[in-house]
Amino acid sequence: MAAGLEALQRRFDLAGLSRVDAGEGGLPRLRLTPAAAEAEVYLHGGHVTRWQPRGAAPVLFVSARSRFAPTAAIRGGIPVIFPWFGARAGDPKAPAHGFARTARWEVEAIERAGDAALAVLRLTPDEAARASWPHRFRLRERIAVGAALEVTLEVENQDAAAWSFEAALHTYLAVADVRHVSITGLGGAAYIDKTAGMARKQQGPAPLALTGETDSVYLGTGAACVVDDPGMRRRIVVEKEGSATTVVWNPWAEKARALGDLGDDEWPRFVCVETANAADDRVTLAPGQRHAMRARLRLEPR
């Protein structure tokens, strides 16, 4: 690991822009430091764990009990979900949310893009991925860090036949208390309520307020969502492109106690608003075809 880290440092330690170091658990980490913000990205999972605009509190939540280990997913930040969402249909032994969030990604480039720092990561199938999903693919993740955070997941079909996939940027947003936030942008959308036996429902016109365990998959919606957080006196705007699904999730108290990598008292401090293509909105790619899905986060004062 040390030799590999030194090689990354020689290529990607760029003054005033980026630094490579050993993060939690000794996992390689990119630290991106343009003028407007700071961010941290782990090569394990291609996982953004921090984005903090200058003068603002961190926008992403990461559990203090998260396991930073090569075989475990990081709890918080922005996990990359691919090629299935949730449990894999017909294969209960498959890892939840696919293999991308626990794979080792490669750094393709780090460069300055105007006032932002741009990191480009790449994932191609290894033996473990091919064993669980026998398709040829390439993923690219483009992470642009500045006054806004843009994360783009590009999926390319390198097979001779078409295949379908699900994907998500499973974003954990830091809030003062999830019981007091509201979310706009989902009014009128149809959704699958996973806490009610996958029942199909429709969101009313009022802002969404969470009052208990929430695991809702909103379908056929490309609208931006705004998380209004009175406790932190800010609004988090989640804009998206190439995404027809938005997922809203919080485990609430009882489910949180069952999660070994989440503290019993941490669940009020985040809400997941996920940019996705899942369930009815899964994507089919022809040979050689690519698909890009982008999430853009920015802050507004309240």
CB 42 within 8 A of CB 50: no
Please identify which of the residues 40, 141, 266, 274 carries the catalytic annotation.
274
Please identify which of the residues 170, 180, 266, 291 carries the catalytic annotation.
170
**180: annotated active-site residue:** no
| Residues sharing a CB contact under 8 Å with residue 271, sequence separation 6 or more, in sequence order | 172, 173, 175, 178, 181, 183, 210, 227, 248, 249, 250
Structure tokens at 81: 């979900």
CB 208 within 8 A of CB 199: no
CA distance 287 to 161: 6
**291: annotated active-site residue:** no
Instruction: Tell me which residues are annotated as active site.
Output: 170, 274
